[in-house]
Structure 1
Amino acid sequence: MGASVAAMALLLCACLSLAFVPLSVLGAPASAAVESVPGFSGTLPSKHYSGYVSVNETHGRELFYYFVESEGNPATDPVVLWLNGGPGCSSFDGFIYEHGPFKFEPAAESNSLPKLTLNPYSWNKAANVLYLDSPAGVGYSYSKTRADYITGDLQTALDTHAFLLKWFEDYPEYQANPFFISGESYAGIYVPTLSRNVAHGIKAGVKPVINFKGYLVGNGCTDDQFDGDAIVPFIYGMGLISVDMYKNVQTACNGSYWNATEKTCLQNLNDIYADVDAVNIYDILEPCYYPESSSLRSNTRLPQSFRRLGETKGPHKIRKRQFGRAYPLRLPLKAGRVPTWPSLSHALFDSENVPCTDDRIADSWLNHASVRAALHAKSAADIGPWELCTNNIIFYHDAGSMIPIHRELTTSGYRALIYSGDHDMCVPYTGSEAWTSSLGYKVTDQWRAWFVGRQVAGYTQGYANNLTFATIKGSGHTVPEYKPAEALAFFQRFLSAEPL
């Protein structure tokens, strides 16, 4: 009897002791650890985790993440969420082609894995980086309820906020770390809407408390008028149309192009669009590649990432990856249903292929059974094949202009960096520069060059309320892909609250 009481007392003490263990000691879930990365033969310089977080257990709505610990000091370095756009595009775009921990090289033989080496410009040099496939139906994320694939800006922000709250519960050791939200292209909508939800949650006392500090947006969709009116001046400024064409369209459209309906204005706009049709929309400096595949239209174009792989010949279909945004020149951001890239390409080009893009490396790696198993992702038999940009979802832009949200966030004390590759014709820097200026904030850092080493990396202007606008010289739509060293530099400086 006495021994039993003693044993029970010891058990009770053990339970009470466990109850008072600091959250930081409990650590990340062991089941999420990525023990090895197929295609990589070295030693990982930091820990990797991946898996699913349920944002609606009733519907079976599961969002997939890949988390890369910092190579610096994971315990104190910021946590940065990364979101690719589309809508409908996987954030493995950023992981594989932009700022992830690895550089991916094409497989030496068909059906073999790409070769992975360490990326010297990975963003986890400076932060713990969390890549998220969002919304459900994108990448490895899925739902057991088909109706969940009809969604929009506001629901996506709600789901991603729910994801973050549960993720920080699973990784409590990171709750005190500074937290930032980042993304590019259509994530110009995702980032501010999610940031607003996080900020409102903090104010309302939602637990766990996220130590949210600010956000970054690259070549991001923001506002239908600013985005739509930015393209023609950009085209002219880059020398792609004549001064007469520019004067004619200005006169015909009264200087506004985003919502044109008048016949003469539309005719002038169509002349301009036809003039730049053969230019790489994602980086006007990049030459176009014309594959010899009979399954593609002759004017399908691929940028630098395809040419690194070498020319592909023969009749087989070439799968291509997109650089982030679902709007070509003719479709500025407007309220209502947003076409995904596959549906848009079918309508405009009579093809499911996206111009200027190649996703074969990502496609071959993320659809390999060994990779899906290593990353704790559901099998293709369960949720279908991984696609860089999917047509599975029906998506609505229902959040309106982002400018009021940016104003709310920056005047509430959150830091913001709005950056633009200055040779992107898809979401030109001219629009981002215009809307940041339109906020009317006092200029605290006059327009000037910023440097990496002794070289001009771009130009920047700083505003009151911790708002910074910056260009990256010579870069296209996906800045870390085109200018990795410069991207890592501004990323590190922004996280450290240093001026560019």
Structure 2
Amino acid sequence: MAIPRRCSAPLLGLLFLLAGGLCCLSLAAPEGARITSLPGFNGTLPSDHYGGYVTIDEEHGRKLYYYFVLSEGNPSTDPLVLWLNGGPGCSSFDGFVYEHGPFNFESGGKSLPKLHLNPYSWSKVSNVLYLDSPAGVGLSYSNNKSDYVTGDLKTASDSHKFLLKWFQLYPEFLANPFYISGESYAGVYVPTLSYEVAQGIKSGVEPILNLKGYMVGNGVADAVFDGDALVPFAFGMGLISSDLLQEVNNACSGSYWNPTNENCESQLHKVDKVLDDLNIYDILEPCYHSPESSEVTLRNDKLPLSFRRLGETNRPLPVRKRMFGRSWPYRAPVKQGRIPTWPELGLGSAVPCTDDQVATAWLNDESVRSAIHAEMASIIGPWELCTDKIDFYSDAGSMIKYHKNLTAIGYRALIFSGDHDMCVPYTGSEAWTRSLGYGIIDEWRPWYVDAQVAGYTQGYDHNLTFLTIKGAGHTVPEYKPKEALAFYTRWLAGTSI
């Protein structure tokens, strides 16, 4: 820092103090964690970036990878937000590359992707910590393959261990307001981890984290509410006729998630047939692959890799089970609560309606791995958007009890939904938030960006907010980046959305 020649002693002291504070912010990070440049990006990074591993089990060598983006505003006081993608088995680089990271990625063809600054990055207003979890997902790994057998509760416990160790490495952020966020199957990850953190705070586990609340986007929550959401969504969007709706209601008595008679099953197959060729992540969008490479239907044997397993609970699986209104013709014997692996389901490798080529090309390049302090593919294998490496048990059950507990003791919660997502329809999220029975303090109304309706919101007691984003699909910031940054900024600041 250049100091003017004519400068009073108090001012000199203040300048040196400020310089020292800025220096300490960087020096407190682990040695070698700072990311100084990124292949594919020309120019100075918009803020400081850090990346690397936190070992959560020394004996097994279980390590979780993180990528940390400091705020472009005031990193010392801006909120710190943890981001988790779902699956289970999907890397949080999904959010970094395609949703709200500091860059927009442009395909480089046979060359590396080109990175451009993202004007709607969430790092504009917050520090963002991207975590690959559990071990075996993305760039996280273990030297003991038994760690790849995991589930909801172990994932929450491991992520909590990660946070405690991470904050020891970055203690200057302990005072920042801390939020946990994610989407899709992170509808399970977020509340279970938030509960672990809250219990740790209550028990005095150090370091004491400054948890303020959590956010879930298009997240699974409860088998019944989410499973019954598709048919009302399809009718409300004009995708099925009133006659078919009446037939399904008569056969299923309004309960679609686990049909108990053949007539109900038959009528639900009619719904499946009508919706077969839609992009389930956004019904307004086309699919990105040719029909030859990815047939798109609502049956779980054709669901994309990242969402084929949504909504499982710790109940035994019936011979035929419906999740989110979609039939699952899986007939092999399963253990209680275990989510079947891809080979058992007979799934191929194609990911319908999605394209992860840019992220795959970038994250499997050796120069990128070196720049972000990640292990090489020769050691931990190739990066995959969603992996088949883990054997996952869904053992936490319904998330409603977690949401009730967390909101009742004062943590803020934002439940947001892209209103054109058919994978986890907003109708289910709206229903379960309403079912908590909290008083309405902000009646259903539109919210705005640039004087245009951006969606609708309803506010409840106990700092619970439900929000829709008009025209957005399953991954809201990917479809509506400006609107996503707008509600994110307002909610973090505690102002009205």
1:327 is displaced (CA, Å) by 3.6
TM (normalized to structure 2)?
0.88
Cα-to-partner distance string for 1:455-487 (whole Å, 9 max, x where unaligned): 000000000000000000000000000000000
Structure 1 unaligned spans of 5+:
1-21, 302-319
Matching of residue 452 in structure 1 with residue 449 in structure 2: yes
Is the contact between residue 140 and residue 378 of structure 1 (CA under 8 Å) also seen in structure 2? yes
Residue in 1 aligned with 2:426?
429
Write the distance in 2 (CA, Å) between the matches of 1:393 and 1:75: 37
Residue in 2 aligned with 1:13?
none
Is the contact between residue 70 and residue 129 of structure 1 (CA under 8 Å) also seen in structure 2? yes
Residue in 2 aligned with 1:79?
80
Residue in 2 aligned with 1:331?
323
Where do 1:68-217 residues align within 5 Å? 68-107=69-108, 109-110=109-110, 112-217=111-216
Is the contact between residue 321 and residue 358 of structure 1 (CA under 8 Å) also seen in structure 2? no
Residue in 1 aligned with 2:489?
492
1:242 is displaced (CA, Å) by 0.8
Residue in 1 aligned with 2:11?
none
1:450 is displaced (CA, Å) by 0.3
Matching of residue 469 in structure 1 with residue 461 in structure 2: no
Is the contact between residue 226 and residue 434 of structure 1 (CA under 8 Å) also seen in structure 2? yes
Cα-to-partner distance string for 1:245-276 (whole Å, 9 max, x where unaligned): 10000010011011112100000001101110
Where do 1:329-408 residues align within 5 Å? 330-332=322-324, 336-339=337-340, 342-343=342-343, 347=346, 350-408=347-405
Cα-to-partner distance string for 1:210-268 (whole Å, 9 max, x where unaligned): 00000000000000000000111101111111111100000100110111121000000
AA of the residue aligned to 1:405: Y
1:292 is displaced (CA, Å) by 7.1
Cα-to-partner distance string for 1:172-196 (whole Å, 9 max, x where unaligned): 1101000000000000000000000
Is the contact between residue 324 and residue 424 of structure 2 (CA under 8 Å) also seen in structure 1? no
* TM-aligned CA distance change 1:234 to 1:332, over 3 Å: closer
Match of 1:363, SS? helix
1:27 is displaced (CA, Å) by 1.6
Where do 1:34-53 residues align within 5 Å? 34-53=35-54
Matching of residue 251 in structure 1 with residue 250 in structure 2: yes
Residue in 2 aligned with 1:28?
29
Write the distance in 2 (CA, Å) between the matches of 1:292 and 1:229: 29
Write the distance in 2 (CA, Å) between the matches of 1:270 and 1:129: 42
Match of 2:32, SS? helix
Is the contact between residue 325 and residue 426 of structure 1 (CA under 8 Å) also seen in structure 2? no
AA of the residue aligned to 2:28: G
Write the distance in 2 (CA, Å) between the matches of 1:430 and 1:205: 39
Is the contact between residue 196 and residue 405 of structure 1 (CA under 8 Å) also seen in structure 2? yes
AA of the residue aligned to 1:453: D
Write the distance in 1 (CA, Å) between the matches of 2:98 and 2:411: 29
> Aligned Cα RMSD in Å?
2.1
1:352 is displaced (CA, Å) by 1.5
AA of the residue aligned to 1:481: E
Matching of residue 67 in structure 1 with residue 68 in structure 2: yes
1:164 is displaced (CA, Å) by 0.2
1:23 is displaced (CA, Å) by 8.7
Is the contact between residue 321 and residue 388 of structure 1 (CA under 8 Å) also seen in structure 2? no
Residue in 1 aligned with 2:407?
410
Residue in 1 aligned with 2:333?
none
AA of the residue aligned to 1:132: L
Residue in 2 aligned with 1:237?
236
Residue in 1 aligned with 2:57?
56
Q: 253-262 or 195-204, which moves further after superposition? A: 253-262
AA of the residue aligned to 2:493: S
Is the contact between residue 286 and residue 353 of structure 2 (CA under 8 Å) also seen in structure 1? no
Structure 2 unaligned spans of 5+:
1-22, 298-302, 312-320, 329-335
AA of the residue aligned to 1:499: S
AA of the residue aligned to 1:352: S
* TM-aligned CA distance change 1:400 to 1:217, over 3 Å: same
* TM-aligned CA distance change 1:292 to 1:424, over 3 Å: closer
Write the distance in 2 (CA, Å) between the matches of 1:54 and 1:83: 18
Write the distance in 2 (CA, Å) between the matches of 1:398 and 1:278: 33
Write the distance in 1 (CA, Å) between the matches of 2:305 and 2:468: 21
Write the distance in 2 (CA, Å) between the matches of 1:211 and 1:378: 31
AA of the residue aligned to 1:386: W
Match of 1:143, SS? coil
* TM-aligned CA distance change 1:381 to 1:323, over 3 Å: closer
Residue in 2 aligned with 1:306?
none
Write the distance in 2 (CA, Å) between the matches of 1:495 and 1:256: 37
AA of the residue aligned to 1:35: T
* TM-aligned CA distance change 1:231 to 1:343, over 3 Å: farther
Match of 2:264, SS? helix
Residue in 1 aligned with 2:478?
481
